[in-house]
Amino acid sequence: MGVQIAVLSGDGIGPEVTDAALHLLHALRQFYGFEFQTVAADIGGIAYDRHGTPLPSATVECCRQSDAILLGAVGGPKWDSLPGHLRPEAGLLGIRKALTVFANLRPIRVWNELLGASPLRERIVKNCDFIIVRELTGGLYFGEPKERRRDADGNVSVVDTLAYTEREIERIVRVAFDLAMRRKKHLTSVDKANVLESSRLWREVVQRVRHEYPEVLVEHLLVDSAAMQIIQRPGDFDVMVTENLFGDILSDEAAVITGSIGMLPSASLSAEGPGLYEPVHGSAPDIAGQGYANPLASFLSVAMMLEHSLQRPDLGRVVETAVAHAIESGARTRDLARGEEARLSTREMTRWVISYIEKGVHYAENTI
């Protein structure tokens, strides 16, 4: 009966925003006849508490059997003292690796009505609309060896490894070029080629592949300079491709200049197999359980899921439009509100967006 969505709500505000996203999906069923079923599975700290591991094999199995995965967030102070392989984050990295979702798309978009929420001046952030393509299953996050050592004299040393194969670089670079072809045909590749061997190979691959995309304007930036230029001229970028750790850092930076990290969705895609969709904001333990987390990043992640994994780009646009209408009409959660503006709870924001999903149906009916 319809598609199957695995729901991994995780920790902190993860369950709150994911629950809101499920209400949104139910509204799509009610008003647009979208058929789906969901299966819930544990990941992160909650999985550790219940099963002694942040990624039970049943969760991986459940994801593999689904058409798409909706994830909330993982992590929290409760699990901070666990060894690395038992931490909630290990569950998230594990599921990304198990599903080989190597292409992480993070659209950085400014909503005009939220310009005032940006820490940057309006004229700088206005027109900012780019997408970060972050390599997600290689690099420093996964390279071996990755360990802590103690020599005979008791001295401690540590090692993390930044490893990439040429093939891993090429497949992510191709995703970025393909995306650029569907956008403004401008690709910025970010590396640290003045220091790192992995970055030198990265740059070589981009230079080789670009011959197949003669229409795409290619620019190479060193990551430190990219961090600066995202602040100086965010409106100039279109598609930005980079390795795992650089992408992690730059996407938080880019998110916050758009006003709130609470607005940023993401899609993680593999060559074949289900995609993984998650808001970029973390588990936000400081506000968890209070009912006022911003659910919009989760809603926009659902929109990406409808487009990339469920073959319903039309419904993806319905969700995006409803979110846009809600913002235009003044709906603000605490992270977005300024001054005297009313602060909506997660539930109120959800109802507000769903009201536009419903109105969208009436609008479509009236225009046929």
Of Mg ion, ligand IPM, none, which one sits near residue 295, judging by CB under 5 to 8 A according to partner kind?
none
The residue (of 248 and 307) whose beta carbon lies closer to Mg ion is 248
192: annotated active-site residue: yes
Q: How far apart are CA 86 and CA 79, in angstroms?
A: 9
List CB contacts of 345: < 8 A, sequence separation 6 or more.
291, 292, 333
Among 11, 67, 243, 248, binds ligand IPM (CB under 6 A): 248
Is residue 135 close enough to count as binding Mg ion by CB under 5 A? Answer: no
The residue (of 90 and 303) whose beta carbon lies closer to ligand IPM is 90
- Binders of ligand IPM among residues 92 to 111 (CB under 6 A) are 92
End-to-end Cα, the chain, rounded Å: 29
126: annotated active-site residue: no
Of Mg ion, ligand IPM, none, which one sits near residue 113, judging by CB under 5 to 8 A according to partner kind?
none
Instruction: Tell me the per-residue interface mask from 64 to 83 with ligand IPM, x by CB under 6 A, - otherwise.
Output: -----------x--------
List CB contacts of 299: < 8 A, sequence separation 6 or more.
20, 21, 24, 265, 319, 322, 323, 353
Is residue 168 close enough to count as binding Mg ion by CB under 5 A? Answer: no
- Contact (Cβ atoms closer than 8 angstroms) between residue 299 and residue 318: no
3-state SS of the chain: helix, strand, coil percent to 5? Answer: 50, 20, 30
Q: Per the residue annotation, which of 80, 224, 286, 314 is the catalytic one?
A: 224
Q: How far is the CB of 286 from ligand IPM (least distance, A)?
A: 15
Of 166, 165, 137, nearest in space to 245 by CA? 137
Of 139, 150, 163, 143, nearest in space to 246 by CA? 139
In 3-state terms, what secondary structure has residue 178? helix
Of ligand IPM, Mg ion, none, which one sits near residue 89, judging by CB under 5 to 8 A according to partner kind?
ligand IPM
Among 19, 49, 89, 129, binds ligand IPM (CB under 6 A): 89
Q: How far apart are CA 142 and CA 163, in angstroms?
A: 8
Going by the DSSP 8-state scheme, the letter that residue 333 receives in this structure is B
Q: Per the residue annotation, which of 11, 191, 192, 277 is the catalytic one?
A: 192
- Binders of Mg ion among residues 216 to 255 (CB under 5 A) are 248
141: annotated active-site residue: yes
Token digits for 359? 């109105």
Q: How far is the CB of 182 from ligand IPM (least distance, A)?
A: 24
- Binders of ligand IPM among residues 251 to 290 (CB under 6 A) are 280, 282
Q: How far is the CB of 287 from Mg ion (least distance, A)?
A: 17
Phi, psi dihedral angles at 147 (to 5 degrees): -165, 170
78: annotated active-site residue: no
User: What residues make contact with ligand IPM under the rule CB under 6 A?
Assistant: 75, 89, 92, 248, 280, 282
Q: Which residues are catalytic?
A: 141, 192, 224, 248, 252
